[in-house]
Amino acid sequence: MPEATSPRDTTLAKDLPSHPFDIDADSDKLREECGVFGVVGVTEASNFIALGLHALQHRGQEAGGIVTYDETSGFNQARRMGLVRDNFTSADMMAMLPGEVGIGHVRYSTAGHKGQTAIRDVQPFFGEFSMGGAAIAHNGNITNAIALRKELIERGSIFQSSSDSECIIHLMARSMGRTIPDRMEEALRKVEGAFSVVAMTRSKLIGCRDPLGVRPLVLGKLGDGWVLASETCALDIVGADLIREIEPGEMVVISAETGVQSHFPFRRAKSRFCIFEHVYFSRPDSILGGRSVYETREAIGRELAKESPVDADLVCPVPDSGTPAAIGFSLESGIPYAMGIIRNQYMGRTFIEPSEQIRNMGVRLKLNVNRALIRGKRVILVDDSVVRGTTSQKIKEMILEAGAAEVHFRIASPPTQWPCFYGVDTPEREKLLAARMTEDEMRDHLGVDSLKFISIDGLYRAVGQSGGRDAKSPQYCDACFTGEYPITPTDMIERGFKTKVAAE
Ligand code: SF4
């Protein structure tokens, strides 16, 4: 039997204010919760993992962690609150994470302690099994986690965190599988929801996507080694070549010696990839489904211009995520594109001890209007989404204060009317502006001259389905726009959430 290999743990929870003021906390955006990255067969794996996580930082900024394995020191892990660049760049830190195999995770909390990540919730999670140790990191959300957790606790499992992802480790512990991949497979069969998981043993890297492939996961080649990452931008930063996307429902077990072994442990289902990854979550320099995210967003802007034209002088993006769609809108409409709002690139996310005055400045800390450009102009503002409507209202006020003659909002996604239960932080349904108001009511509420969202068919056309959403059965998850959840949100229904079908 292998020796016990409990990880050398350099997890720290020190020096943290209990409630740092997060200038993005009131931002009117849905937030992707996690990014995952793993390598095998690469010397100094932790350096590559840190770089990969840095490229995925937009998917989660609250905390991050890395686990590696090295023959001499065994498993090593470090988990930290805050950004990758602040925690995983020093030579001392990297020296504590030796080895040629490892995984990493960045997170923004969706399940567990929402918005107040505790260090114990930071992934990867580690488990000690009879055949050796394993660590896992998860992007997504387990929709039956409450029921699973209850059952596991009743049967003796002792949970260390409030994260739904820890269920996977406990399910693996209860499995009778002979190998860690076998146990992981059995555990994931009991899990419902959206998951892209990377895991590691002492010599293997494992990747798996849920049967619908809701969240992304890609495979890359780095010299003699292999990489798994949430997005291709994380392959680019380490110089890895994109091999392919991990398919929905696929599990890959990778080692330096045997290469990539693939199988499909789940019942096959039609892919329902998150369409919002195209609109907002993924970085514009990533490739999704063989298409550049930037080009898709530009196509969304073009569709929007065709569907909802307006006579105006300037097309301005709400930075940064509205930029490619604004360029597409400008190209299609012929209305000049201009940077009417400038983002302060050097503003960090957090003030540790903000004064009340700073708290009240909100959006102005991040965005400033380019007055000379805006004055007297009829301005089209292109943004990716409207969630609560709070930021849109503040931006409208800033634009009018700067002397704009008219303000027209064009939104690169359909109205967000339903919460996401698949790993994206969304307010309760009652707080979503589009769940409470019609498009015209939202326009009046925001006090703008016009407000138009791209239609769901327009969005499908822009992502490459020329006949619109219902030309085939939907190829994407679009539940936050349509209320049609491709995976039953079991826990939420138990807690009283009414799906569209139940509400009708
Ligand atoms: S509900 Fe919306 S954000 Fe969530 S996975 Fe589906 S499309 Fe993506």
The fraction of the chain above a pLDDT of 90, given in percent, is 77
pLDDT at 360 over 70: no
Q: First and final CA of the chain: distance in angstroms?
A: 57
Res. 109 pLDDT band, cuts 50 70 90? low
pLDDT at 416 over 60: yes
Q: What is the DSSP secondary-structure string of 109-128?
A: -SSSSTTS--GGGPSPEEEE
Q: From the CB of 478, is ligand 1 less than 6 Å away? A: yes
Each residue's pLDDT tens digit, 462-500? 999 888 898 877 789 999 999 999 999 999 998 888 888
Q: How far does residue 282's CA lie from ligand 1's centre (Å)?
A: 13
Q: From the CB of 274, is ligand 1 less than 6 Å away? A: yes
Best mutation site among 271, 413, 480 for ligand 1, i.e. most ligand atoms within 8 A of its Cβ? 480
Q: How far does residue 479's CA lie from ligand 1's centre (Å)?
A: 6
Q: Which secondary-structure segment (H or E) carries 421?
A: none
Mean pLDDT of the chain: 90
Domains of the chain: 31-268 (3.60.20.10), 287-503 (3.40.50.2020)
Q: From the CB of 214, is ligand 1 less than 6 Å away? A: yes
Residue ranges of the binding site for Mg(2+): 321, 383-384
Q: From the CB of 480, is ligand 1 less than 6 Å away? A: yes
- Nearest Cα to Cα of residue 246 among 264, 234, 233: 264
Q: How far does residue 44's CA lie from ligand 1's centre (Å)?
A: 36
Kindly provide the residue ranges of all beta strands, DSSP E only, lying in 370-491, ordered along the sequence: 378-383, 406-411, 424-425, 450-453, 476-477
To 10 degrees, the CA torsion angle through 490, 483, 31, 123? 20
Q: How far does residue 501's CA lie from ligand 1's centre (Å)?
A: 18
The fraction of the chain above a pLDDT of 70, given in percent, is 89
Provide the token pair at 440.
């015209």
Q: From the CB of 459, is ligand 1 less than 6 Å away? A: no
Best mutation site among 110, 271, 276, 478 for ligand 1, i.e. most ligand atoms within 8 A of its Cβ? 276
pLDDT at 347 over 70: no
Provide the token pair at 452.
């138009």
Under a CB-based contact definition with an 8 Å cutoff, are residues 123 and 65 in contact?
yes
Task: Specify the residue with its C-alpha closest to ligand 1, atom 4.
Answer: 420
Each residue's pLDDT tens digit, 56-91? 999 999 899 999 999 999 999 999 999 999 999 999
Q: Which of 76-80, 109-113, 288-292, 426-430 has the lowest mean pLDDT?
A: 109-113
- The average pLDDT across 107-123 equals 69
Under a CB-based contact definition with an 8 Å cutoff, are residues 108 and 34 in contact?
yes
Res. 12 pLDDT band, cuts 50 70 90? low
Q: From the CB of 477, is ligand 1 less than 6 Å away? A: yes
pLDDT at 503: 67
pLDDT at 48: 98
pLDDT at 382: 98
Res. 27 pLDDT band, cuts 50 70 90? low
- Nearest Cα to Cα of residue 325 among 305, 297, 303: 297
pLDDT at 32: 63
Q: Which of the 8 DSSP states describes residue 140?
A: E
Is the C-alpha dihedral spanning 313, 318, 323, 325 positive or negative? negative
Question: What CA–CA distance (Å, rounded) separates 120 from 161?
Answer: 5
Cα atoms in the 13 Å half-sphere on the side-chain side of 352: 4
Our answer to whether residue 34 is catalytic in this structure is: yes
| CB contact burial 345-368 (16+ within 10 A = b; e otherwise) | eeeebbbeebeeeeeeebbebbbe
What angle do helix axes 166-174 and 180-189 make, rounded to 10 degrees? Answer: 110
Task: Specify the residue with its C-alpha closest to ligand 1, atom 5.
Answer: 274
Question: What CA–CA distance (Å, rounded) separates 245 from 254?
Answer: 15
Best mutation site among 281, 421, 478, 482 for ligand 1, i.e. most ligand atoms within 8 A of its Cβ? 478
- The average pLDDT across 14-26 equals 43
Q: From the CB of 281, is ligand 1 less than 6 Å away? A: no
- The average pLDDT across 168-178 equals 95
- The average pLDDT across 15-27 equals 44
Q: How far does residue 419's CA lie from ligand 1's centre (Å)?
A: 8
Q: From the CB of 487, is ligand 1 less than 6 Å away? A: no
pLDDT at 367: 87
Under a CB-based contact definition with an 8 Å cutoff, are residues 249 and 24 in contact?
no
Ligand 1 atom at minimum distance from 194 CA: 5
Each residue's pLDDT tens digit, 192-251? 999 999 999 999 999 999 999 999 999 999 999 999 999 999 999 999 999 999 999 999
Q: From the CB of 380, is ligand 1 less than 6 Å away? A: no
pLDDT at 481: 97
Each residue's pLDDT tens digit, 134-160? 999 999 999 999 999 999 999 999 999
Task: Specify the residue with its C-alpha closest to ligand 1, atom 2.
Answer: 480
Q: How far does residue 314's CA lie from ligand 1's centre (Å)?
A: 31
Q: What is the pTM of this model?
A: 0.91
Q: What is the DSSP secondary-structure string of 287-344?
A: EETTEEHHHHHHHHHHHHHHHS----SEEEE-TTTTHHHHHHHHHHH-PPB---EEE-
Q: How far does residue 274's CA lie from ligand 1's centre (Å)?
A: 5
